[in-house]
Amino acid sequence: MIPSLLRFLWSIVAWFLGPILRLMNPKHNLPFAHPSRPPPDPNLFPRYMQNKQGIWLRWTEWSPRAAPTAVVFIVSGRGEHAGRYDSLAYTLTAEGYQVFSMDHQGQGGSEGDRSYVERFQDYVDDTQAFVKRIMTLRYGLSQLPKFLIGHSMGGLISVHLALRDQTFWNGIILSAPALEADPKVATPFMKAAASLLSDFLPKLGFEKLGVETLSTNRAVVEFAQQDPLFPGERLKARWGFEMLKNMDEVWEKVNQVKFPYVLVHSADDAICSINGSRKFHSLNQSSDKKLVEYSGMFHELFTEVNRHKVFGEVLEFIARRAK
């Protein structure tokens, strides 16, 4: 009843203020971004790709010393960038795997409004286009086993991407995926409010995510506080609504999930609750799946003091499927 009343009252306000609010909140603060824009000099900036919106996205790669035996794509979380995955990437390359990662639009070294996205599926489209680009440019890699590692928001992106073609990937690794919002926050009233704000004040900042509970590794927290590429901006209304919407879509499609995966998550994670991972693991139809729960760790399992335990699970999962 309350959400319906809220929508009705807002529709009256929006009828008067809608045009003004839309002028105050353009889709992008990047008037120069358009698909026909010439690329940066490839000799100076070789690791950029342009997405369908005309935004240039920066990507990174890590190579093994010998010919690779598999290729791994790392999908980072909200506000992150590829450089925060060096330790994981170097561990993978030591095993003979070629590793790639791309900074999402509005994050890291990529263009775009900070902490903002028009549609969550833009993240998925960008990641899919990046994978396709690498497979086209490096044809030899397309013949190798392919794996996807998604952390936090990147885990949500990875689930949506894997569902588009479940035969493409040899395996999916999900680290503390953002699959379910806190039910105390994502009430029907809050979802209705988020929908309205997304429509009329999409760039309204409503919350900052702290870094204190990223990892029990104090050095990681201190680095995140000083990292110039780690955002200090408030989360935007459109981003929040799109996250909630696409979390809900996972549960609408969960019975379609058949891809092989290993899911690692800490029971002490205060950012993405392990309950979503447990629910996902119990409801999907995959015949090749594993949920590994940890205690005494926080959200970023790949940066924890005991991260080598997590790395071991990832390496074992890949090794058994990269033969």
* CATH number (domain holding residue 53): 3.40.50.1820
Q: Is the pLDDT of residue 25 over 90?
A: no
Among 271, 269, 268, 289, smallest CA distance to 280 is for: 289
Domain of residue 296, residue span:
40-320
Q: Is the pLDDT of residue 23 over 70?
A: no
pLDDT at position 66 is 96
Which of the four pLDDT bands, split at 50, 70 and 90, describes residue 15? very low
pLDDT in tens, 299-319: 999 999 999 999 999 999 999
Is residue 238 domain-resident?
Answer: yes
pLDDT at position 6 is 47
- Measured between alpha carbons, how far is 200 from 223 in angstroms, rounded to an integer? 36
Is residue 143 domain-resident?
Answer: yes
Is residue 6 domain-resident?
Answer: no
- Measured between alpha carbons, how far is 163 from 125 in angstroms, rounded to an integer? 13
Q: Is the pLDDT of residue 193 over 90?
A: no
Do 243 and 154 contact (CB within 8 A), yes or no? no
Q: What is the DSSP letter of 28?
A: -
Question: Half-sphere exposure of residue 18, counting CA atoms within 13 Å on the CB side?
Answer: 10
pLDDT at position 184 is 75
Q: Is the pLDDT of residue 98 over 70?
A: yes
Number of domains in the chain: 1
Low-confidence winner among 21-25, 119-123, 186-190, 255-259 (lowest mean pLDDT): 21-25
Is residue 138 domain-resident?
Answer: yes
Work out the percent of the chain whose per-residue pLDDT is above 70: 86
Is residue 83 domain-resident?
Answer: yes
Q: Is the pLDDT of residue 11 over 50?
A: no
pLDDT in tens, 81-90: 999 999 999 9
pLDDT at position 32 is 57
- Measured between alpha carbons, how far is 201 from 238 in angstroms, rounded to an integer? 8
Q: Which carries the bigger pLDDT value, residue 19 or residue 302? A: 302
Q: Is the pLDDT of residue 49 over 50?
A: yes
Is residue 163 domain-resident?
Answer: yes
Is residue 180 domain-resident?
Answer: yes
pLDDT in tens, 132-158: 999 998 988 999 999 999 999 999 999
Which of the four pLDDT bands, split at 50, 70 and 90, describes residue 3? very low
pLDDT in tens, 201-258: 888 887 777 789 999 999 999 988 888 887 667 788 999 999 999 999 999 999 999 9
Q: Is the pLDDT of residue 38 over 80?
A: no
Displacement of CA 217 from its chain's centroid (Å): 22
Is residue 295 domain-resident?
Answer: yes
Question: Half-sphere exposure of residue 42, counting CA atoms within 13 Å on the CB side?
Answer: 4
pLDDT at position 82 is 95
- CA distances to 123, 149, 195, 196 from 239, rounded to whole Å, are 11, 22, 11, 13
**Is residue 188 within a helix (H) or strand (E), and if so which, with residue range?**
helix 188-200
- Measured between alpha carbons, how far is 174 from 263 in angstroms, rounded to an integer? 5
